Amino acid sequence: MRLPTLKWAGDALELVDQTLLPSELVIKRCDSAEEVRDAIHRLVVRGAPAIGVAAAYGVLLAAHSAKNSSPEELREHVARAAELLAAARPTAVNLAWAVRRMEAAAQGQEASAQELYERLEREAKAIEEEDREANRRLGKFGAALLEDGATVLTHCNAGALATVDYGTALGVVYAAVEEGKNVSVYVDETRPLLQGARLTAWELTQAGIPATLICDDMAASVMSQGKVDCVVVGADRVAANGDAANKIGTLNLAILARHFLVPFYVAAPLSTVDFDMASGADIPIEERNPEEVTSFAGARFAPVGVDVYNPAFDVTPAYLIDAVIMEGGVAKPPLGAALAALRRD
């Protein structure tokens, strides 16, 4: 079962509350841009493509509250919401990308507020549909890289819950299975918030795909035993040279994969590539609340007063990436030139 991560209800945005999975399946309703921003920050909705689409609808909610006012007032609502939402999480480029598209759609001096609102609604729905289509296309390209009987190692959650409804890294697995291939998956638990254990393992179990959950520090062991055919991960931002920011711990896997001669693939839509950022050295890395490391589900397990470093992402350099799987094809080294060739604009 793959359920939509989010749904536009006409006057509200409905989200699967991922903080409660897998224990509870709860739909959270957001009635304002502020509520969408809070949902993004608290990881109710997460994953670069999903938060980009959610942010687009957050801007639309701001416009909804002003659609019976003047065009100027509606644009002011849009601008404030865009600024608020873009700052919710700094690493995922899809967030700012989607917000900029919505701001651009609000321009046009000849339009009434109602016309501007309708234009914004069309743009938000277009961003959603583009994500859906892009993930299915990249899934097909990625599936061609998997042999029948392949075992994939993945990290964090880059499945349906991280996108509109299909997935990037897991989209590759889903597409391979839909083609009739037998594919199994090793799932990193992904500390500190256990997105692999809570979300990816749940998704794969629901889909009937064989999945084995491992602790993050078991990856070297399973690779050394020849149990992994490839690593496939998602990305929150890819720099123009191919450096890729993804959930903390991804760099560990890339280094291990290179040591054990295991192909390492990044699966991400083109919207995740920041062509204005030369390299991963410039990617802003979000640091989150120390309590995510010292506690879980309300239970503290670290001593009070201990210092904590909690970056949410790390950057894998392009030279450790064997390919970036995108909706336009598979980019192979040199990644900078290959990504530029796939660029549409």
Q: Which residues are catalytic?
A: 236
Encoding tokens for residue 281? Answer: 């050295």
Contact 196, 190 (CB under 8 A): yes
Q: What is the DSSP letter of 271?
A: G
Integer Cα distance of 41 and 37 in angstroms? 6
Distances (CA, A) of 47 to 110, 113, 200, 313: 37, 32, 12, 12
Give per-residue burial for 121-132: e unless 16+ CB within 10 Å, then b: bebbeebbebbb
Encoding tokens for residue 121? Answer: 């609604």
Distances (CA, A) of 164 to 96, 127, 265: 17, 10, 21
Question: Coil, strand, or helix at residue 232?
Answer: strand
Q: How many CB atoms lie within 10 A of CB 309?
A: 7
Question: Coil, strand, or helix at residue 25?
Answer: coil
Encoding tokens for residue 241? Answer: 């040279």
